[in-house]
Structures are given as structure tokens and as C-alpha cells.
């Protein structure tokens, strides 16, 4: 559980930095840069991993899906959706985590679904009070963006569920598996960034480079590593509910640290709702 909380806190701080320093830069280039830095951070473990070829390829493929393809679909959704709608629609990941695990186990975890629904409701409550748009302002033309974003949620959910079996396939070498995952993720994100190569060095300032270094080495490298380590040690229902912990925490950090306007009537009940969901499945926190 502590791994999941640590990752959520790291991600909570990244939202304010992205909004404050990286707005206006090509998002595909930013994503590829973050994943390249994460891959370089895990280079020592990559060299020492000595995984079998099939295990290394499996790890790279899972990383390409969970981190690389997730980023590509996530970034593409901004062509059809406003930023606040993207933030709102990311809250449905818990349902995908439960569905992915239940389909694999051929069973239905009703308590896990209820906990996921409560976590989603809490996250939606927070988002509804911290966005500039109106929840009723949806148009039919936005459906491509909605589908792309749910594809991103599904990719991230599949990676969480499949990480535990991957680690077993890699002989218990979590760090080696993560290192190969970052390699696969970077190559996929780099392919998506190829059409934007002319903007790689355009418009960057020194502060933005420093922010990118921080985002690549801390929220990306450590954040995803912490999250997957927690996923390998946590029951599916608890993991699903924890996926929305980052949203009220992000708003809380933006409120307390970055001094952005936030309504405590929205933030605090949303955080409580996610906490209640986690409490409901506390007995399933570890396997």
C-alpha cells in the first residue's frame, strides 16, 4: 500500500509543474523525453538484469502498452477534448482494473466494483468542482477523444494487472522487468514523436528543461516503478480504488503548495470517498 501512496504523491506534484512550465510544448516530444529519461535511470538494472530473451521482450511489450501506448492515446485525446474533460475521464481506470482481472480470473468481484464506483464518484466530485467547463458541455464530435482516452485508461489498467505475472516470468527481478518496460515504452513514444521532430529543440527554456528532467526521473521513473511494485503486492480491488487517489491529492497539493484556487467542499469529501473505498477492501490490500 505504501508504494501506491508514494506514487500518488509523486504524481500529485507533477500536475502543477506541467501546467506551470510545459504548456505550449509539443506533448508527444515531452512524453518521449520523460520515457527516455526513465529508461536511462533504469539503465544499470537493464545491464544487470540478464533476463531471458522472451522475458525481456515480454517486459518491453508490456511497457510499450502500459506506458508508451497509454501516453500516445492520452496525448491524442487532447485533439478532441478540453483539458478538464481529459482530467475528468481519467477517473474510470478503476473499472478497467477490476474488469481486466475479473476477465482473466473468470469471476465477478462485486465488492471490488462497489469500491471502484465509490472511488470514481469521489474523483468525479473533485473534478466537477475544479474545472473551468460545464459537465453538460459535451458534443458528439468529442467521441473520438473519449474513446482514445478510455483506451489509455485500459492500457494503464492492463499493465497493472499483468505486472505481477511478468515479474514471475522474469524470475522475481522487478527492477529488471521495469527497466525493459521503460525501453519498450520509450521506443513506442519515440515513434509517435517522429512527426514532431522539428519541434524537439524549438521553444524550450532552461527552466522547462529542468522540469522535464524532474518529471522524467521522479514522477515517471520512480512513480511508475513505485506504482507497479505496489500493484505486484496488492489485491486487485484495493489497487483499483487506489488509482483515483492521485486526483484529490493532486488538487490538494495544487491548493496547498502551488496556491491555486480550490474548493475544500469539493476536495475533502472527494478524498474521504476514495479513502472509504480503500477501507472497504482493506482486507484485500495484500495477497
pLDDT at 287: 47
More confident residue, 131 or 68: 68
Per-residue buried b or exposed e for 236-250, using 16+ beta carbons within 10 Å of the residue's own CB: bbbbbbbbbbbbbbb
Confidence at 266, pLDDT banded by 50, 70, 90: low
**Which residues contact residue 134 at a Cβ distance below 8 angstroms, ignoring those fewer than 6 apart?**
none
How do residues 5-62 score in pLDDT, each as one tens digit?
A: 889 888 877 766 776 677 667 777 888 899 999 999 999 999 998 899 999 999 999 9
Distance CA 185, CA 217 (A): 15
Tally of CA atoms within 13 A in the half-sphere of 225 that contains its CB: 22
pLDDT tier at 136 (50, 70, 90 boundaries)?
A: very low
- Burial classification of residue 50, based on how many CB atoms lie within 10 Å of its CB (0-12 exposed, 13-18 middle, 19 or more buried): exposed
Question: SS3 breakdown of the chain: % helix, strand, coil, rounded to 5?
Answer: 80, 0, 20
Across 168-193, b (16+ Cβ under 10 Å) vs e yields ebbeebbbbbbbbbbbbbbbbbbebb
Q: Which of 89-103, 143-157, 245-259 has the highest mean pLDDT?
A: 143-157
Global pTM value: 0.81
CA dist., res. 128 & res. 134, Å (int) = 8
Mean pLDDT of 185-189: 93
Question: Is residue 202 scored above 80 in pLDDT?
Answer: no
Amino acid at each position: 500500500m505504501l508504494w501506491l501512496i508514494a506514487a500518488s504523491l509523486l504524481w500529485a506534484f507533477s500536475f502543477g509543474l506541467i501546467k506551470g512550465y510545459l504548456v505550449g510544448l509539443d506533448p508527444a516530444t515531452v512524453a518521449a523525453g520523460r520515457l527516455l529519461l526513465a529508461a536511462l535511470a533504469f539503465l544499470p538494472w537493464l545491464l544487470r538484469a540478464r533476463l531471458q530473451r522472451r522475458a525481456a521482450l515480454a517486459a518491453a511489450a508490456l511497457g510499450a502498452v502500459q506506458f508508451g501506448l497509454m501516453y500516445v492515446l492520452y496525448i491524442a485525446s487532447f485533439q478532441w477534448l478540453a483539458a478538464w474533460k481529459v482530467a475528468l475521464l481519467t477517473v474510470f481506470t478503476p473499472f478497467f482494473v477490476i474488469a481486466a482481472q475479473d476477465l482473466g480470473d473468470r469471476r465477478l468481484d462485486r465488492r471490488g466494483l462497489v469500491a471502484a464506483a465509490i472511488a470514481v464518484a469521489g474523483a468525479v466530485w473533485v473534478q466537477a468542482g475544479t474545472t473551468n467547463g460545464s459537465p453538460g458541455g459535451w458534443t458528439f464530435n468529442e467521441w473520438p477523444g473519449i474513446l482514445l482516452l478510455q483506451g489509455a485508461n485500459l492500457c494503464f489498467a492492463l499493465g497493472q494487472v499483468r505486472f505481477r505475472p511478468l515479474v514471475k516470468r522474469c524470475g522475481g527481478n522487478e527492477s529488471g522487468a521495469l527497466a525493459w518496460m521503460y525501453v519498450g515504452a520509450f521506443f513506442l513514444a519515440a515513434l509517435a514523436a517522429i512527426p514532431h521532430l522539428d519541434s524537439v529543440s524549438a521553444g524550450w527554456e532552461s527552466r522547462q528543461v529542468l522540469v522535464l528532467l524532474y518529471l522524467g526521473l521522479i514522477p515517471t521513473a520512480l512513480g511508475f516503478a513505485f506504482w507497479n511494485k505496489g500493484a505486484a503486492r496488492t489485491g486487485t480491488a484495493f489497487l483499483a480504488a487506489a488509482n483515483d487517489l492521485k486526483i484529490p491529492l493532486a488538487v490538494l497539493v495544487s491548493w496547498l503548495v502551488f496556491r491555486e484556487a480550490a474548493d475544500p467542499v469539493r476536495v475533502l469529501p472527494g478524498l474521504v470517498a476514495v479513502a472509504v473505498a480503500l477501507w472497504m477492501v482493506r482486507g484485500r490490500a495484500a495477497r
